[in-house]
């Protein structure tokens, strides 16, 4: 498995959002915003891609919170949707039924896209945004954690949010430890 990075630059996040909207409008006849929805769900909730792909319209339509079972640990986690997600979900789910997959396959609206398809979409977005480092589906979760930490410096909440055993694990996971080491090397003089 390759090591993937969070998207550190907010401008790159905005470029990817814009690309996914335009890509959907140009290339998808049904559910043109599904990849945009996948992206914002990941960067705002910090869920793993398997958890995002398991989501149904009923998990978000007309709701402010939802409880999920984490795919890796089996533990329950409750999420609350922010204002941007609520607006996007309301529009996206308006004429859809609760049993439909939130990010549906092109062949069956009750089945989600595959993890491989999510990876391919993320890499198309990476190229469109001009990002040079390695990203993948896990980048969504890492981006959430990275930006939350940079805005709040609240590692304790993020550790609980991501179900990590230590603050060090969380900092390493979101790339802050790597940033600090690289900065130290860059600024080191004898």
Report the catalytic residues: 48, 72, 138, 141, 164, 173
> Which residues, other chains included, contact 28 with Cβ-Cβ below 8 Å and sequence gap of 6+?
34, 35, 106
Identify the burial level of 74 via C-beta atoms within 10 angstroms of its C-beta, where 0-12 means exposed, 13-18 middle and 19 or more buried. exposed
The CA distances from residue 37 to 54, 101, 123, 124, 151, in Å, are 13, 12, 16, 16, 23
Interior angle at CA 92, CA 62 and CA 33, nearest 5: 150
């Amino acid at each position: 498995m390759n090591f993937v990075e969070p998207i550190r630059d907010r401008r790159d996040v905005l470029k990817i959002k814009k690309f996914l909207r335009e890509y959907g409008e140009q290339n998808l006849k049904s559910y043109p915003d599904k990849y945009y929805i996948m992206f914002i769900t990941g960067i705002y909730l910090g869920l793993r891609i398997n958890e995002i792909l398991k989501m149904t319209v009923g998990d978000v339509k007309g709701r402010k919170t939802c409880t999920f079972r984490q795919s890796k640990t089996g533990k329950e986690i409750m999420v609350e949707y922010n204002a941007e997600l609520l607006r996007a979900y309301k529009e996206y789910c308006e004429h859809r039924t609760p049993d439909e997959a939130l990010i549906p396959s092109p062949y069956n609206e009750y089945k989600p896209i595959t993890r491989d398809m999510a990876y391919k979409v993320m890499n198309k977005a990476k190229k469109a945004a001009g990002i040079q480092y390695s990203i993948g589906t896990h980048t969504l979760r890492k981006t959430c954690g990275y930006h939350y930490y940079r805005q709040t410096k609240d590692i304790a909440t993020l550790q609980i949010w991501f179900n990590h055993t230590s603050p060090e694990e969380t900092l390493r996971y979101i790339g802050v430890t790597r940033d600090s080491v690289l900065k130290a090397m860059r600024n080191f003089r004898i």
